Amino acid sequence: MILETSHELMVAGLMKPGEQIRTEVTGDQFDLIHSVMGICGEAGELLDAVKKHTVYRHPLDRVNVIEELGDLEFYLQNLRARLGISRNETLEANMSKLAKRYPGFKFTNAAAIERADKVEEP
């Protein structure tokens, strides 16, 4: 019980008050938050569709999967636009990262564990 109480006190002391956040966040920042909340929500809906297929053995609802992917694209596009990032820029960055992680774009468990793209160069 003492540890639980200590943790509760620590959290209460470290959490930034919502009222302070509300007064500091700009409209542009709310747009970013809206996009990221939308991405998370739609990713959850996509996960649920795949869970129903894989765990509960339902037929894959392809129409729903396409709908959720489209919703993800919607929010991703708004986020990219708000940040001045093009879709091609994100795709190029992703390909560059994965080229470092998986030489020749060949998956191996060892490369996945090693994550060469995360190793800092001296």
Neighbours of 49 (CB within 10 A): 20
Report which of 105, 89, 32, 9 is spatially closest to residue 40, judged by C-alpha positions. Answer: 32
73 in the same domain as 30? yes
How many separate domains does the chain show? 2
Q: How confident is the model at residue 85 (pLDDT cuts 50, 70, 90)?
A: very high
In a domain, 2, yes or no: no
Burial class (CB in 10 A: 0-12, 13-18, 19+), 68: buried
In a domain, 119, yes or no: no
Q: How confident is the model at residue 80 (pLDDT cuts 50, 70, 90)?
A: very high
What DSSP element (H or E) covers 89? Answer: helix 87-101
74 in the same domain as 49? yes
40 in the same domain as 68? yes
User: Who contacts 83 (Cβ-Cβ below 8 Å, separation ≥6)?
Assistant: 32
| Structural domain for 70, as ranges | 26-83
Q: How confident is the model at residue 4 (pLDDT cuts 50, 70, 90)?
A: confident
What is the pTM assigned to this prediction? 0.87
- The token pair that represents 100 in the structure block: 């470092």
78 in the same domain as 32? yes
76 in the same domain as 42? yes
* Digit-coded pLDDT (tens) for 9-64: 999 999 999 999 999 999 999 999 999 999 999 999 999 999 999 999 999 999 99
101 in the same domain as 77? no
Report which of 82, 73, 72 is spatially closest to residue 27, judged by C-alpha positions. Answer: 82
